[in-house]
Each structure stands twice: as C-alpha cells, then as structure tokens.
Structure 1
Amino acid sequence: MSEIKNKVIWITGASSGIGEALAYQIAEKGGKLILSARRENELQRVKDNCKGINPDEIKILPLDLNQPDTLPILAQEAISLFGTVDILINNGGVTQRSLAVETSSEVERIIMEVNFFAAITLSKSVLTVMKKQQSGHLVIISSVAGKVATKMRSSYAASKHALQGYFDSLRAEVWQDNIKVTLICPGYVKTSISLNAFTAEGAKYNQMDKNQELGISVDVCAQKILQAIEKDQEEIYIARKEMIAVYLKRFFPGILSKIVKNIKVGN
C-alpha cells in the first residue's frame, strides 16, 4: 500500500473542485503539495485553507495547460521545488456543451490540448525522475465519459477515451520501474465544470447541469481517489446511476445506443 505522508504530490487543476478537495485531504494526511492552475490568487487561497501541514510544504506553481511549450519547463521547476515528484495527479481539464457539427475546430483543439496532450507532457516530464528513483505514481482524472459518450460532449469524450488508451499502454511500459498508473473515472461530481464548459465558439456555457448539481460531493470524490492511490488500484469508477451506462455499454451496447439517442440535451 502506498503512503501519502511525506510524499511530494503535484496536483493540476488545484484551484477549485476535485483538485481543491484533494489538496485539503492530502495536507491532512501529511503529504507535501505542489498546487497548479492558472489563477495564482485562487491557489494561494487553497494553500491558506490547508490544515495540518507546514506552509513551507505547500508550493504554488501557476500554469496554463493550454500553453504546451511552457509545460516541460514548469515540470522541471516542479521537480526542483522538493527535489522530486512522487505522485502526479493530472486533474486539470475542460469540457463542452455543444453539438459536434457546430463546434469550432479551435474549441476541439483546446479541449484535446488541455485534457489529453497536457497530461501526456507533464507525465513524461516527471517519468525521468520517477524512473531514476524507481518509484512513482501517475494519477489521471478521466471520466465515465471515457467509456460512454453522450450528446454535446463529443470532443470531451474523445479526450477522455484517449486518456484511457494512452495510460493503459503506458502502465504496461513502466511497471517494471515500480511506477503505478491509476485512472479515475468519475461520473457526475458537484463542481463548476459545466458552468465553465465551452460552447461551440468557445464562450462559457454558464449553466449548471441538473445532474452536476445533484452529483457526488467533491469531498467524497477526493476521498475515493486517495483510497485508490493508497491501494495502488489501476482504475476506479466514482459514480451512482451512471454506472448502469458503463455496464450497458459492455454487455448491451444496442440498448445503450437507443437510450443515448433519446437523452435530453443539456443533461
């Protein structure tokens, strides 16, 4: 079983939602934190609200996942903060609420850049130090949408499907270096992700989905993620009724297809 205490844990998307909840729970477990997101002031707020940890053991490293040229440099800076990264949690991401035929190619590329390519770049950047120390853990926040795609989320679902394939493959390549890979597949979690979703032309959606509003709390989600890390699990689902769709996809794909076609747009 892995230990959180005294491990250096780098979280992207740490300024809100699941990433923020993870930061608080890791701090209470005695982990050393590197917090990353675009908004430095929000990262400082999260740092100030962490309990049970010396402030010197929390570092802030602002980054923009949609700026690919900056990420390898920032990854080296992250490593230098404590001399290593033991666990990287690729949590930062964006979604959409738009029909595929109407979605601009720019929005599609941003979603893939932030959700998929950034996770790859950061993971490969820390793999060198993980291989050298013969230990490490890559944690990828995927989604139930990485298994089951629905309306209005074509590029988002594509990015999450891509994460599943890439990191399943990577796991098979790095296990001999004692490097773990855990894929987390949440369903509906009560965060602001739908408020910040892209519309077809890149504006903010600015609406809270009903299912999102009724979703699992970020605290429960974070707790289950940390349990998966501590148990070295390869993949977990954090979902309620959404799990039905996962099973239908596996065993009765025709039935699921009919259901998906009739889902009300927006939910």
Structure 2
Amino acid sequence: MTSRTIWITGASSGIGEALAIRFAREGANLVLSARREDELKRVEARCLDAGLHADQVLVLPLDVTDWESLPGAVSRVTAQFGSIDLLINNAGVSQRSLCKDTDMSVYRKLMDVDVMGQIALTKAVLPDMLERGSGHIAVTASVAGKVGVPQRTGYCAAKHAVMGFFDALRAEVEDAGVHVSTIVPGFIRTSIAENALAADGSAFGQVDDDIAGGMDVDECAEVVVKGLNAKTREIPVGKGKEMAALWVKRIAPEMLFRLTKGRNG
C-alpha cells in the first residue's frame, strides 16, 4: 500500500483507527473521515508518529448521511492525492434494544448510517474507479450480517443489507477491474457497545461481556489488512464462538436459531 491512497470512514476510533495506524506503517496516503474532527486530529497525530509525512494525511470530517456533501468530499480527496485506490466504508453504529421497545427513528438512523451512507459514498467514488479500470472498495459488515440475534433487529437488518449490496456490487464491477471486499468482524474490543443506540436513540453506554472479551483491535487490523492486500472478497475476523456461527448458519441453520433465540445480549 506504499503511496496508495486509502480513504477510511469511521476513522476516529475502533477498527477504523487501527486500520489507519496499520496503513500508516506501510506508507499509504490516508484520508481520515468521521464526524468528530478532534478525534480525527488525534488519529492523524498517531499516523504521523507511525512514519507518515503531514502531506500524506488528509483529515476530512464527514457525515455519511449528508449525501449532498459527498461529491465535494471526493473532489477534495482527488485534488490532493489524484485518485482513490481503496475506500474502506467503516462508518457505523450498533443497537442494543428489543424490537417492541425500539422507536422507529432508531431503525431509520441505523439504516441511514450503516447502509445508505455506505452506498452513497461508494456511488460517489465508483465512477472514477470504473473509468480507470482499477480500485478497491471495502465495507465493514459484521457477523450480524449473517446471523440474527436478540436486541440487534435493526443492526442485523442493516448489516444483512450491507452484505447483500456489496456482494451484488462485486458481481457488477469485478470484471471491470474494481475489487469489492466485505469485512465480517465478530466481537472486537472497541467502544461499539457503549456507542450503540438504545431503544430511544440515546447511547447504550454499557460494555458487552462479549465485546470486552473479543479480539484485540490491532490484531483485527492485521487480519483485515492482510485480506485487503490479497484482495480477498470476504474477510472474516474474530476469534470467539461467534465465528463458528458463520459455519453453523450454512450447515445447520435450525441449530443456530435454537442457540441464538435465548440470548439477551
């Protein structure tokens, strides 16, 4: 990835931040996007400490739900770096609430951030990649995009939609030279649970035991970067029992349903 331009959304924390640091060590040009500019500046400083020069990092605050701003953001990136070699759609929010308690505004926000925002930015970046006949688009999906569990009805719906969209996009564009990778994390030690939406849309504010015991985020980044460098189409990453669920879903879906229906977390 040396001297290649990589745009990471959701780069202010968690997997996005870990990927930024990992790619900085490879000498990539980085575009760091999220809503919190102060946190992006902190990540930028870490990237510079990892060996990048100031002109190799562009901090670009972005709300992926503001579709009208996306073409301008793409123009700013290409003005500085010329082209986008890899887009990592990593922005996202999770959920912790039962369906019967969840306000419809929560479902709308999950779909806007986790699905429509990823589609909108992808559509803004894709034409130039197709014209050049090269490029790579990745999205952070989830095991929740394959398996349904309690208190995640909206999140699972969104991640299932993400898996479907980007699988279909791959079928459209791979022969044109544009690669598409779906990243499928299990439990990774990040702040995803604390930042998840509760039934009323407020922050859940609690740590899940599963997340707390999950894979280290830097270890996750190593697995993802290896997969992206190899242009792997689907990149599962995790180390817990949730990863086995991906296989059980294929070979014994009824068994998986019995295992998941009683979970409360």
TM-score by length of 2: 0.96
Moved more, 167-176 or 67-76: 67-76
Partner residue, 2:244:
244
Partner residue, 2:68:
69
Gap runs ≥5 in structure 1: none
1:94-133 equivalences in 2 (<5 Å): 94-133=93-132
- For 1:68 and 1:100, how far apart are their aligned partners in 2? 28
Aligned AA (1:14): A
Gap runs ≥5 in structure 2: none
Does the 8 Å contact 2:65/2:116 carry over to 1? no
Deviations 1:53-106 (A, max 9, x none): 111110010011232332333233233231211100001100000011221111
- Cα distance, 1:133 vs. partner? 1.5
Q: Report the identity percentage.
A: 44
Does the 8 Å contact 1:194/1:206 carry over to 2? yes
Moved more, 184-193 or 101-110: 101-110
Does the 8 Å contact 1:32/1:57 carry over to 2? yes
Q: What SS does structure 2 have at the residue aligned with 1:62?
A: coil
Deviations 1:25-47 (A, max 9, x none): 10110100000000111111111
Aligned length: 262
Partner residue, 2:193:
194
- For 2:214 and 2:69, how far apart are their aligned partners in 1? 34
- For 2:77 and 2:95, how far apart are their aligned partners in 1? 29
- For 2:174 and 2:253, how far apart are their aligned partners in 1? 32
TM-score by length of 1: 0.95
Partner residue, 1:23:
20
Aligned AA (1:110): K
- For 2:78 and 2:116, how far apart are their aligned partners in 1? 20
Q: What SS does structure 1 have at the residue aligned with 2:183?
A: strand
Q: What SS does structure 2 have at the residue aligned with 1:34?
A: strand
Partner residue, 2:255:
255
Deviations 1:107-138 (A, max 9, x none): 10110110111111111111111112211000
1:42 aligns with 2:46: no
- For 1:209 and 1:166, how far apart are their aligned partners in 2? 28
